């Protein structure tokens, strides 16, 4: 067995993939290898987080794209022949994973939320959502390495274990790329990152006017959370920024508490909240689909329920 490889863009993603990768490596009785991009002095920390080896990706020039790393990763993979290769399913992660898979002539499972290893064959059975979350597809890669991109927050970040030993090795500098970045124009965000929020108050078409968003904001503030919305609120009505909407084509979140206000519960939205630990809903329609996936539900007019709920929460939390 040649190992399980993982590649994340940042520290949090790497810790999440180390958790999932460590379990697979233990099952295969092989090593766990983390590809690391950052300050080289920080690379040994990932040994404490479960890696047996850290491959350091060298710095690239500002005009070089992230895909410049593909040739050196592919060359290393050809030499080491890893069993499994997991990549964080970010925009850049999915691009680089596809390029690596193509060069290695292997398969790639996209945005896999479940990984089950067959102990007899060593094959990785990957689960991914289809049709907006209405179905689950099972994928098996018959070539090496078995590759998959993993959505953020699929695994909890791994815990640090002192006293582990491992190897850190820097890879060669990537060759000059035929593609260069001419200019970067960062998109200005108008809201907080809802994917990191532990509490989310989400609004839907049940709100009658934009000014009513203040009801949700007050509730979110009382709980120390953030406000989010369904797609129509952001893309059609433009009441909130596009990065605030949850759903199939929007953000996928994993809060400790999600409160849906005036949301019917269509699959296009609920696919984005399926990993929430506790789901609460407020809707005047007792047959609303959102109640079918809710842990707690309140049937009633949100204009009566939300102010009373906010007031009661403030009383309790201020004690």
pLDDT at 21 over 60: yes
Both structure tokens of 35: 């590809």
> In this predicted model, what pLDDT tens digit does every residue of 36-50 receive, in sequence order?
988 778 889 999 999
For the chain, the domains span 4-170, 194-317
Q: What is the arithmetic mean of pLDDT over 206-235?
A: 95
Distant-in-sequence, close-in-space partners of 282: CB < 8 Å, separation ≥ 6: 259, 260, 261, 262, 297, 298, 300, 302, 305, 306, 309
User: Per-residue pLDDT for 310 more than 80?
Assistant: yes
The pTM score is 0.76
CATH superfamily of 4-170: HUPs (3.40.50.620)
Q: Do domains 4-170 and 194-317 have the same CATH topology?
A: yes
Q: What is d(CA 188, CA 190) in angstroms, rounded to the nearest whole number?
A: 6
**CA nearest neighbour of 106 among 121, 87, 92:** 87
Cβ count near 120 (within 10 Å): 6
pLDDT tens for each residue of 66-121: 889 999 999 999 999 999 999 999 889 999 999 999 999 999 999 999 999 998 88
Query: Hey, which CATH number is domain 194-317, 3.30.1490.20, 3.40.190.10, 3.40.50.2300, 3.40.50.1220?
Result: 3.40.50.1220
């Amino acid at each position: 067995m040649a190992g399980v490889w993982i590649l994340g863009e940042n520290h949090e993603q790497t810790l999440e993939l180390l958790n999932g990768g460590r379990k697979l490596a233990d099952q295969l009785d092989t090593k766990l290898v983390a590809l690391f991009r950052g300050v080289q002095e920080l690379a040994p920390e990932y040994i404490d987080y479960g890696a047996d080896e850290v491959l350091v990706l060298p710095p690239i020039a500002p005009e070089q794209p992230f895909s410049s790393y593909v040739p050196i990763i592919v060359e290393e993979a050809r030499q080491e022949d890893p069993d499994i290769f997991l990549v964080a399913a970010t925009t850049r992660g999915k691009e680089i994973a596809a390029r690596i898979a193509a060069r290695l002539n292997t398969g790639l499972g996209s945005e896999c939320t479940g990984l089950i290893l067959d102990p007899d064959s060593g094959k990785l059975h990957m689960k991914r959502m289809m049709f907006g979350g209405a179905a689950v597809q099972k994928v098996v890669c018959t070539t090496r390495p078995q590759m998959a991109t993993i959505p953020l927050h699929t695994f909890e970040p791994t815990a640090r274990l002192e006293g582990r030993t491992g190897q850190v090795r820097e890879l060669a500098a990537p060759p000059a790329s035929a593609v260069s970045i001419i200019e970067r124009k960062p998109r200005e965000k108008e809201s907080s990152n809802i994917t990191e929020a532990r509490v989310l108050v989400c609004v839907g078409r049940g709100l009658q006017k934009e000014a009513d968003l203040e009801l949700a904001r007050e509730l979110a503030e009382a709980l120390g959370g953030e406000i989010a919305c369904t797609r129509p609120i952001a893309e059609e009505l433009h009441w909130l920024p596009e990065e605030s909407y949850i759903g199939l084509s929007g953000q996928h979140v994993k809060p400790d508490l999600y409160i849906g206000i005036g949301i019917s519960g269509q699959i296009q939205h609920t696919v984005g909240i399926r990993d929430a630990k506790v789901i609460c809903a407020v809707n005047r329609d007792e047959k609303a689909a959102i109640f079918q996936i809710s842990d707690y539900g309140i049937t009633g007019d949100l204009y009566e329920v939300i102010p009373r709920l906010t007031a009661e929460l403030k009383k309790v939390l201020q004690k």
